A = this chain, B = another copy of it.
Amino acid sequence: MKYCFGVDIGGTTVKLGLFEETGEILDKWEIVTHTEEEGKAILPDISASILAKLEERGIDKADILGIGAGVPAPVTEEGVVNGSANLGWKYKEVKKELEELTGLKAEIGNDANVAALGEMWKGGGAGERNMVMVTLGTGVGGGVIIGGRVVTGAHGAGGELGHVCVNYDETEVCGCGNRGCLEQYASATGIVRLAKRKLAEETRETILNKDTVTAKDVFDAVKAEDAVAIEVAEEFGRYLGYELANLATITDPSIIVIGGGVSKAGEVLLSYIEKPFRERVFFANKDVKFALATLGNDAGICGSAKLVLES
């Protein structure tokens, strides 16, 4: 039996998984991400944790196919990161450094792209080869996979769905410096922003509270048939659904998978995205399916492992 590791490097914790080459998860665990001093301890910590796991399990290095790792930053084809705000990294040769530290082969990818690969392998997109994944969390991330391969692009910055402009009239500025990015409407934060804007001038009764409203509150209120919440969900869905229709015209996926914290709202969320999508999608892409992500926090380690298995 051969094995590999999947590593999901986040700004707070690093998630690690030990996989059989068949895809079975044998073990998973977390370590703290030490971002001090430009995150210089992160790769040594990961390396030490992996080597300790081999020792603990009595697995020989020769039986390890490699380490896959997802990083919250664009990653070049050579496995280089030119800065990651979340990790404190500046220029870092992640692949080279991790290989030198462990003596194992490493494959590095962008975390959102890698999570998409995980969902296509054994999650919401299982069995498909052409998939768009949208991650609706604090921000909006994404991954586009065409013909089984992740669209990484010239800087490893492909699939940045959250920073597509969907509203040229927006006056508030996005974190990226532009205005009208999808993230301003479709992230958890964006949904709260839409809800607060509406509640500020709303006269109808609603169970939403403008001081404490969260994205979860909005979809809970939608399920309780709150008319104001439903209009917020419709606005969210229109921005996201229209943008996904444009994206489908360019990338021609067979399935769109919705993940991230906001997707915990469940099937109701999909209905608000699908309706505007169907109104607008190019005729050649009419049969695109929608699905919720199913791997949750494991998408990153699974996709990272898959990076190794298919390399």
Closest to A82 in B: B284
A-B contact pairs, 7 of them (CB 8 A): A74-B284, A77-B147, A144-B250, A158-B251, A164-B249, A178-B282, A247-B250
Interface residues in A15-71 by Cβ distance below 8 A to B read: none
CB distance from A149 to the nearest CB of B (A): 7
The reply to whether B158 and A252 form a contact with Cβ atoms under 8 Å apart is: yes
Of listed A149, A156, A250, residue having the most chain B CB within 10 A:
A250
A146 contacts chain B at the CB level, 8 A cutoff: yes
CB distance from A247 to the nearest CB of B (A): 6
6 nearest A-B residue pairs (beta carbon): A153-B252, A154-B254, A157-B284, A130-B154, A158-B252, A164-B246
A200 contacts chain B at the CB level, 8 A cutoff: no
Query: Residues of B contacting A242 with CB < 8 Å?
Result: 165, 168
Q: Contacts A146-B151, A242-B168 known; A158 to B250 CB distance under 8 Å?
A: yes
A80 contacts chain B at the CB level, 8 A cutoff: no
A187 contacts chain B at the CB level, 8 A cutoff: no
Distance in angstroms between the alpha carbons of A161 and B177 in the assembled complex = 25
CB distance from A175 to the nearest CB of B (A): 11
CB distance from A187 to the nearest CB of B (A): 15
Query: Residues of B contacting A146 with CB < 8 Å?
Result: 146, 151-153, 158
Distance in angstroms between the alpha carbons of A153 and B77 in the assembled complex = 22
Closest to A74 in B: B284
A163 contacts chain B at the CB level, 8 A cutoff: yes
Query: Residues of B contacting A247 with CB < 8 Å?
Result: 250
A259 contacts chain B at the CB level, 8 A cutoff: no
Query: Residues of B contacting A129 with CB < 8 Å?
Result: 154
Among B77, B147, B153, B280, which residue has its beta carbon within 8 angstroms of that of A253? Answer: B153
Query: Residues of B contacting A144 with CB < 8 Å?
Result: 250-251
CB distance from A166 to the nearest CB of B (A): 9
Closest to A245 in B: B165
Among B130, B161, B250, which residue has its beta carbon within 8 angstroms of that of A159? Answer: B250
The reply to whether B152 and A252 form a contact with Cβ atoms under 8 Å apart is: yes
Query: Residues of B contacting A86 with CB < 8 Å?
Result: none
Distance in angstroms between the alpha carbons of A151 and B176 in the assembled complex = 27
CB distance from A167 to the nearest CB of B (A): 10
The reply to whether B252 and A165 form a contact with Cβ atoms under 8 Å apart is: no
The reply to whether B246 and A165 form a contact with Cβ atoms under 8 Å apart is: yes
**Contact flags (1/0) for A72-95 with B, using CB distance below 8 Å?**
001001000000000000000000
Distance in angstroms between the alpha carbons of A30 and B152 in the assembled complex = 38
CB distance from A113 to the nearest CB of B (A): 11
The reply to whether A157 and B282 form a contact with Cβ atoms under 8 Å apart is: yes
A210 contacts chain B at the CB level, 8 A cutoff: no
CB distance from A92 to the nearest CB of B (A): 16
A231 contacts chain B at the CB level, 8 A cutoff: no
CB distance from A138 to the nearest CB of B (A): 18
